[in-house]
Structure 1
Amino acid sequence: MEKRRIYMDYAATTPMKKEVLDAMLPYYNDLFGNASSVHSFGRGVKGALDTARTEVAKLINAHPSEIYFTGGGTEADNWAIKGVAFASKDKGNHIITTKIEHHAVLHTCEYLEKYHGFEVTYLNVDEDGMISLEDLKNSITDKTILISIMFANNEIGTIQPIKEIGKIAHEKGIVFHTDGVQAIGNVEVDVKELGIDLMAMSSHKIYGPKGVGALYIRKGVKLHPFVHGGAQEKKRRAGTENVAGIVGFGKAAELARVNLDNYKNKLISLREKLINGIMERIPYTRINGHRTERLPGNANFSFEFIEGEALLLSLDMVGIAGSSGSACTSGSLDPSHVLMAIGLSHEIAHGSLRLSLGDSNTEEDVDYVLEHLPKIVERLRFMSPLYEKVAKGGK
């Protein structure tokens, strides 16, 4: 009998929807023109880019002219942070971010510190991964030019108080950037209402193609161009456009907007069943991230007395795909910087599991996980001398 296969790593990437692929296919062959060309082959392609830009803008309540296509979310984060830093260095050299950002933000800030003399404040978070607004206010100086705080964390799912952060930034005349890669398509995002100036987005997190993303740039925000060499994207991001990818992103954004409420409600229902089932069945377990202010499909656990890699391999053997953290750092032996920032020890952080839900998941999938995961954890724990002491009543 064929082994059952269950994908619960949607935070890492999502499969392309059929409608997205169908929208893309003509732009690999029949509609192959360069959007910068003035002839009919180019004009037809240019119209497709305009349509995609409009759909991405609608998803976040922006104007199409405020959407700039990139090669992905990482590039968009890089552009936002470096673009503001270099455009505003006459005003100041101080940036505020958090200790739980994606490495696209953290490594960019470290680069600016090391090579360009910028000063960066890395805000602490509480045990749920939430920043303190008072800490944010107290970190602002007369040299602060940028606040970069992610909308929702990719590992533990915690959603930050974005509207309040935007208000604090604007009261001080500071640009506010947020990494919205995990948020769009999962929760309502209205950049105008939330006071967001810059937001990074990624297509492959919302059932679109890989290798394409976007940066929302609010009209009036000063930002240096990121790629030089051509007039594409209003001379701000040079290079011949990935037309098929952008068309796919636009279609994925349209589908995400139309289906958002149903999608979100479905994931919350499955997430709660999964979290409650695991917490009831497996002792010495903690749920990571804010219990309610979290992404609809995110469930992150730490299991004491086991090692995360062995857990992932054991789950894979029964057909369950999960993650121990960010897909971008899954090859690292270091414990998650996010889990360390919320106060977990190295040992507990190493025993983490992220199960992120999506379109294909069902209640039967959750039942299957609840059937197999407790057995796997128990088996791995009985290999641990530390757990043996606990099982015998020791400490």
Structure 2
Amino acid sequence: MKAVYLDNAATTPMLLEVVEVMQQSMLSNFGNPSSVHQFGRKARAAIETARKKIAKHFNVSAREIFFTAGGTEADNLILYNAVLNLGVKRIVTSRIEHYAVLRTVEYLQKTYNIDVDYVNVNEQGVIQLDDLEVVLKSTSEKTLVSLMYVNNEIGNLLPIQNVAVLCKKHDAYFHSDTVQVIGRYQLDLQKTPIDFIVASGHKFHGPKGIGFAYVRKGISIRPILHGGGQENGVRSSTENVHAILGMEKALEISYKKLDEDREHIVAIKSYFIQQLKTNFKDVQFNGESDNLEKSSYTILNVRFQLKDKMLLFNLDLVGIAVSGGSACQSGASKGSHVLMSFLKEEDVTKTSIRFSFSKLTTLKEVDFTVSKLKEFILR
């Protein structure tokens, strides 16, 4: 059976070069980075070299990068610190954020009685900047804005520079879940004044279970995991040396071939859109995912004019891996909270599929997928 993987927003296949770096580290770099002997010092040196290399990609200092187990932990670390350490009394976010943000914000609101405001989105799921400014003007309470740069389900791009400027203007902290951005877009954090970003290695062909948080210099941060005081006291737990080195290698490869890979993926996405429009006259695209200027080049969210709960399952049976929404909902069948936030009720009930691409995706895989979609939908 032919295998076609079009769920790269959920996770990406690890590159051979990454596996080789990790394997070599496992064989020769086994020391505990907190140990003072030569094996520990070697592991510590490897981690700090990786930290410096990662920081350089974003034009920040190594001291501003903290390794975590992934994007979810990094989001939690930042949001908890905002409330418990930085004096934030209000969080401004949206209904289309990843659950790593939404559910953490809900918990903080319930537990610490903070105020939460949700910025409006339009019928395309676009964050309304006018509404954001109104919300920011409405109170003098210390505020954190948390809005993701690329939406993980519909691919909409946040006008990140505009939001950063608004937050700075109104003296608000700005946190952005950038999990779908790192390794796919250049981000100079000296030019774009974001206070906090997060990353997860498995989104850019690195290993799972590793990520990092960026915290702008001068902002105090305290641990939510207590223990040995690793990561400069911010994140206790023995560092995952091999995964850190694998993530750094994956990031290096991503940015080294960024333009070449983006050109390839844009061609894939453009061709897929054209094929869908040609073969399915009433096909719709959720959010702005069919707009190559306003959405991520790796994500396409498609709505077919039918209600077929078996379509994803049938695609899987013929070897095509796609998603109905975020893969981080533990297989729940409640539907996409993102689509529910802006689509009409009738459209929410129709079958939507998220296709997401990587540099490994081919035009032949697109053709095969379209042919199977025709079999299942036009039969």
Partner letter of residue 327 of structure 1?
A
Between 245-254 and 330-339, report the one with greater CA deviation: 330-339
Residue in structure 1 matched with residue 134 of structure 2 by the alignment: 138
CA distance in structure 2 between the aligned counterparts of 1:65 and 1:44, rounded to whole angstroms? 19
Q: Structure 1: how far apart are the matches of 2:311 and 2:57?
A: 37
Within the alignment, does 1:293 sit opposite 2:294 as a pair?
Answer: yes
Residues 201-240 of structure 1 aligned to structure 2 (within 5 Å): 201-240=199-238
For 1:37, the equivalent position in structure 2 comes to 35
Please state whether the residue corresponding to 2:325 is helix, strand or coil: coil
Per-residue CA shift, 1:163-206, capped at 9, x if unaligned?
11111111122110000000111122222212111001000001
Query: Deviation per CA, 1:277-313, whole angstroms, max 9, x where unpaired?
Result: 1122113321112223111111111112223x41111
Query: What is the total number of aligned residue pairs between the two structures?
Result: 374
Kindly indicate whether residue 107 of structure 2 is the aligned counterpart of residue 111 of structure 1. yes
| Amino acid in structure 2 at the alignment position of 1:244 | H
Tell me the residue number matched to 1:376. 376
Q: Which residue of 1 aligns with 2:121?
A: 125
Higher helix proportion: 1
One-letter amino acid of the counterpart of residue 108, structure 2 = L
| Residue 347 of structure 1, CA deviation | 5.2
Deviation at 1:221, TM superposition (A): 1.6
How far is the alpha carbon of 1:349 from its aligned partner?
4.5
Which secondary structure does the structure 2 equivalent of 1:143 belong to?
coil
- 1:225 & 1:171 partners in 2: Cα distance? 29
**Paired residue secondary structure (2:284):** strand
Deviation at 1:80, TM superposition (A): 0.9
Deviations along 1:21-59, one digit per CA (max 9) or x if unpaired, are 111113323211011111110111111101211222133
In structure 1, distance between residues paired with 2:93 and 2:217: 23
Q: Work out the CA distance in 2 between the residues paired with 1:344 and 1:331.
A: 24
What residue number does 1:344 align with? 344
Which consecutive aligned stretches of 4+ in structure 1 deviate over 3 angstroms post-superposition? 346-350
Secondary structure at the aligned position of 2:237 is classed as coil
Q: CA deviation at 1:20?
A: 0.7
TM-score, normalised to structure 1, is 0.92
**Aligned residue in 2 for 1:8:** 6
- TM-score, reference length from structure 2: 0.95
Letter in 1 for 2:327: A
What are the ranges of 5 or more consecutive residues in structure 1 without an aligned counterpart?
Answer: 380-395
Q: Partner amino acid for 1:342?
A: F
Once the two structures are TM-superposed, the CA of residue 330 in structure 1 deviates from its matched residue by 5.4
User: For residue 176 of structure 1, what is the aligned residue in structure 2?
Assistant: 174
Query: Quick one: percent identity of the two aligned structures?
Result: 39
One-letter amino acid of the structure 1 residue matched with residue 158 of structure 2 = Q
Inter-partner Cα distance in structure 1 for 2:168 and 2:175: 12
Kept in 2: contact 1:96–1:122 (CA 8 A)? yes
Q: Which runs of 5+ in 2 are unaligned?
A: none
- Is the partner of 2:199 in helix, strand or coil? strand
User: Which shows bigger deviation, 344-353 or 250-259?
Assistant: 344-353
Tell me the equivalent position of 1:391: none
Q: Show CA shifts across 1:245-298 (max 9, x none).
A: 111111111111101111111111110110121122113321112223111111
